[in-house]
Structure 1
Amino acid sequence: MPTVLIPLLIVADQISKLWALRSLDPIPDPFLPGLYLTLVRNTGVAFGLLKGNPLWLGLFSVAVGLALLVYLARARTDWLTSLAFSLITAGALGNAIDRLGRGWVVDFLDIGPGLWPVFNLADSFVVVGVILLLPVWLRSR
């Protein structure tokens, strides 16, 4: 069952953020073609929205993560849906740990300075989870 991935994904996210804090700085550093490593302390959510509300954002992220855990424990879903919600859960909880523990989220993956906001593994988990839900949602319509 994909839900067993949740703690592993959270650990991977947190390890990557600790590495970024110890190894990176705010100056973009080329890593791979089209990918830079840039340390950003994000006090808001995507695209810099809602800056300066780490407690509320952290509590909201925990609430979303816990609600999804309850849903995953009770619902009988197909493997793809379970995987998608597991990714979203891990992403929400990974960023909640940052918001509640640091007061900001560690972002460091950068697809090009100025092209897109800098993000982290937890953000990627949420985006991939939502993308995986699209065919499920389209089938249900």
Structure 2
Amino acid sequence: MPTVLIPLLLVADQVSKLWALRSLDPIPDPWLPGLYLTLVHNTGVAFGLFQGNSFVLGLFSLAVGAGLLVYLARTRLTPLVAFALSLVTAGALGNAIDRLGRGWVVDFLDIGPDLWPVFNLADTFVVVGVVLLLLPWGKPRA
């Protein structure tokens, strides 16, 4: 399943970023209640950290994504863990493509000024994947 899911997520991420580049501008545009579309060229990571380090961050994202691909291919995992790691892998690779190809990440999903940094689908994949990995699925309770 991960081998099919990762390319599909990567395509969704990259298509959404191309759409954002062609359709949006840096002025927040209300889309749904509590969600704005705002084009941001992010040269760092969340919360404005490490600005201007796209190449190094891109290499790191690529290494994480590649390492997870190898791990997913070589390790027998439960479907939930494989799904969660596939999300993280696609997110890391999606942002690596931007950082290494453009020199910045295309962010465009905005839950409101000053509430949270503007983000993209790749970021969402990583967060959802990590949350799934942290949930106590099937673990005995103390």
TM-score class, shorter: over 0.9
Describe the SS at the equivalent of 2:64: helix
- Deviation, structure 1 residue 136: 4.9
Task: Describe the SS at the equivalent of 1:107.
Answer: strand
- Partner residue of 2:44? 44
Q: Where does residue 86 of structure 2 map in the other structure? A: 86
**Inter-partner Cα distance in structure 1 for 2:54 and 2:140:** 36
2:115 is the counterpart of 1:110: no
- Which residue identity does 1:42 align to in structure 2? N
- The structural deviation recorded for 1:135 is 2.1
Q: Which residue of 1 aligns with 2:3?
A: 3
- Tell me the number of residue pairs that the alignment of Structure 1 and Structure 2 aligns: 141
Question: Which residues of structure 1 form unaligned runs of 5+?
Answer: none
1:74-99 CA-to-partner distances (Å, cap 9, x unmatched) read 11110000000000000000000000
Mapped partners of 2:57, 2:140: distance in 1: 31
One-letter amino acid of the counterpart of residue 107, structure 1: D
Tell me the secondary structure at the aligned position of residue 56 of structure 1: helix
**C-alpha displacement of 1:140:** 8.2
Aligned residue identity for 1:67: G
Q: % of aligned pairs identical?
A: 79
Distance 1:92 1:45 in 2: 12
Contact 1:68 1:89 in 2 (8 A): yes
Taking a change above 3 Å as real, the CA distance of residues 137 and 42 of structure 1, as seen in their structure-2 partners, is farther
Mapped to 1, the partners of 2:124 and 2:49 lie a distance apart of 18
Secondary structure of the 1:139 match is coil
Is the counterpart of residue 27 in structure 1 residue 27 in structure 2? yes
Q: Say if 1:84 and 1:128, in contact at 8 Å, map to a contact too.
A: yes
Structure 1 segments of 4 or more deviating over 3 A? none
Instruction: Look up the equivalent residue of 1:30 and give its one-letter code.
Output: P
Closer, same or farther: CA 3–140 of 1 in aligned 2, 3 Å: farther
Larger relative helix fraction: 1
- Which whole-Å CA distance do the structure 2 matches of 1:5 and 1:140 have between them? 29
CA distance in 1, matches of 2:112, 2:79: 34
Give the TM-score, by structure 2 length: 0.95
Q: Secondary structure at the match of 2:60?
A: helix
TM-score w.r.t. length of structure 1: 0.96
After TM superposition, give the deviation of residue 46 of structure 1 in Å: 1.1
